[in-house]
Structure 1
Amino acid sequence: MADKTKNGYTSVKTNTDNGDRPATKRSTKIAVWSLLIFNVLLLVALLSLVIGWREYRKKSLTPHEQTICLNCTEMGLDGKEIPEEMAGKITRDTNGNSKEWVCCGYTSDVLNWMVTKAIQDRGTSIKSSIYPLISKECKKTTQAKPSAQVTGISVSGMEKEQTDVIQWNTTESSFMGEGITYKNGRLTIKQPGYYYIFSQIKLRNIPLSYSTSDVSASETLPNHWNHYIFHVSSENGKEQKILESSKSRCEMPSLGDETTSSFGAVFYLAENDEVFVNTSHPQYLAPCEEGNHFGLYMT
């Protein structure tokens, strides 16, 4: 509707439909809630997919024991009935059109049954490939390898021999197997091969023939003590130092102090080769059994 004003202009009155506003607000709310619900559902679906994928991946990565199928006769299952102890562990079925029975189960269950059956039926006609491993006809293939360890220094032996080669106490338990003998501080090899040779000695910074009160000045003590293992070739009798260790006097600052020297390594030894232990100052050895030993064993 138009009205004239004093200035000759025409004013136009616009009518606004206030009834449309509530409907617009409701539509907006419905759209917002729909989007919200849709996003929630989408999030739930995404979480479900993630959880499902993780469970699937976990199952796929979990190791599963393999199944093995063999002729029932080879398993020792000749009858049609599965033994009670194997019920639920091994299944039986015919092999296609043939009349042979095939037994299947987890590898561990099958092997456990075959071993048990083979032990129970020793001497029978079981054809299992693992039966010879436990058959009474099997022969022992492993033998004790040569080894020796002498423990404790023989002071009387060293005084008697008047040598720098360390003399050792020996007993029947010092040797295992065959192929190693002892004489005058030396171990002789009878069976060639690779041997781990080892030694340990305990040193005291005061000579055996002295007491602490007899040593008045530390200058009389050596600056260091050396520990050796020598090898004597059976071909030419040549002595060769193969291992060496050195201990400084600084490690034993007070009179009567003790220190331990030990080492070991693998060497090839021929038949009739000899090895022995030596030290630069044998008079400073502490002849106790728990701190001194010498030995070797075939690897």
Structure 2
Amino acid sequence: MPQESLACISCDTMKSNAQINLGPEAFGQSAVKQRDDGMCCGPTKSLFEMLFQTEMAAQYYYSSSSQSLIDIAEEYADCEKETNDKQPIAKVVGIVGFKPSYIIDGHHKILWNKNGQTFYANNCLHLELEGEIFIRQPGYYIVSSQLNLRRQNETDTPINETRPTTFIHHVDLLSHKYGTTGVLMQTKKSIEINGVYFTSFLSAVFKLNKYDRLSVSISQPDLLDIGHSNDNFQIYYTYNLQ
């Protein structure tokens, strides 16, 4: 009989501040067990179910100052830059322009590297002219993107009734292994006539293959606050299952 694959990942990876408790009592009858060394071990399927649940909880509580995967990735990125760890990582910051997306018709792919905070290391590469992050080590990665939309004011061109009222924010994938393109994740925001400032963000964990290329695309670049210092796109390697 085939055996279910097993794996271990750091329990810290699955923690969030979204009222999630990963102490021993949290596992109950779960097949996933927490070891004394801080690793959570069990069937791969069960591990990913728990990882998904904690991320959904983090997303739900984000508006009340919870920590979602985008916050975790930010912390990892800052730590990586200081310690020069060997984990693959890339963080691109600051919007410098756009080019037509070849993955989503009518969308605009973002080009990055405005203010010198962009960095990448250890089998991740920033393809600056393409606006893409190039993966050279397979594994499971936290992928996140944050964009800030500008506030509409008296000096801006008014949003009229014929203008699209939905802002779409994608993270897209070009797969070298499978020869395909597609959307990894997306969010949509309704734009009010008088417009208000808000942040659009995406974060999740994905299994990426060698030579995958990731990018961010949007529907309406004119709505972005491109001078905002917190516009970024980043990936952080967590682990791999052989």
**TM bracket, shorter-chain basis:** 0.5 to 0.7
Paired residues of 2:177 and 2:210 also in contact (CA < 8 A):
no
Task: Write out aligned runs for 1:36-185 (5 A).
Answer: 143-155=85-97, 158=98, 161-163=99-101, 164-169=108-113, 174-183=118-127, 184-185=130-131
- Superposition deviation, residue 195 in structure 1: 0.6
- Superposition deviation, residue 288 in structure 1: 2.3
More helix by proportion, 1 or 2? 1
Q: Which runs of 4+ in 1 moved over 4 A?
A: 170-173, 211-214
Q: Residues 220 and 143 (structure 1 numbering): CA distance in 2 closer, same or farther, change over 3 Å? A: same
More strand by proportion, 1 or 2? 2
How far, CA to CA, are the matches of 2:215 and 2:188 in structure 1? 17
Q: Radius of gyration: which is bigger?
A: 1
Paired residues of 2:145 and 2:233 also in contact (CA < 8 A):
yes
Q: 1:296 aligns with which of 213, 235, 241?
A: 235
How far, CA to CA, are the matches of 1:218 and 1:205 in structure 2? 15
Q: 2:171 aligns with which of 226, 229, 234?
A: 229
Q: Does 1:192 align with 2:138?
A: yes
Q: Residues 213 and 167 (structure 1 numbering): CA distance in 2 closer, same or farther, change over 3 Å? A: same
- The corresponding residue for 2:194 is 254
- Partner SS for 2:168: strand
How far, CA to CA, are the matches of 2:148 and 2:230 in structure 1? 5
Render the CA deviation track for 1:8-50: whole Å, top value 9, x for unaligned: xxxxxxxxxxxxxxxxxxxxxxxxxxxxxxxxxxxxxxxxxxx
Q: 2:222 aligns with which of 283, 290, 294?
A: 283
The CA RMSD over aligned residues, in Å, is 2.5
Paired residues of 1:205 and 1:221 also in contact (CA < 8 A):
no
Q: Percent identity?
A: 29
- Superposition deviation, residue 214 in structure 1: 6.0
How far, CA to CA, are the matches of 1:168 and 1:187 in structure 2? 10
Render the CA deviation track for 1:140-192: whole Å, top value 9, x for unaligned: xx95201111111013xx2xx45511111167753353111111111000111
Q: Residues 153 and 218 (structure 1 numbering): CA distance in 2 closer, same or farther, change over 3 Å? A: same
- Superposition deviation, residue 254 in structure 1: 2.0
How far, CA to CA, are the matches of 1:216 and 1:197 in structure 2? 34
Q: 1:274 aligns with which of 198, 204, 213?
A: 213
Q: Give the TM-score taking structure 2 as reference length.
A: 0.54
How far, CA to CA, are the matches of 2:188 and 2:216 in structure 1? 14
- Superposition deviation, residue 264 in structure 1: 0.5
Paired residues of 2:148 and 2:228 also in contact (CA < 8 A):
no
How far, CA to CA, are the matches of 1:198 and 1:214 in structure 2? 30
By relative contact order (CA 8 Å, sep 6+), the higher-ranking structure is: 2
How far, CA to CA, are the matches of 1:242 and 1:278 in structure 2? 11
Q: Residues 144 and 172 (structure 1 numbering): CA distance in 2 closer, same or farther, change over 3 Å? A: farther
Q: 2:181 aligns with which of 225, 239, 246?
A: 239
Render the CA deviation track for 1:97-124: whole Å, top value 9, x for unaligned: xxxxxxxxxxxxxxxxxxxxxxxxxxxx
- Superposition deviation, residue 235 in structure 1: 2.1
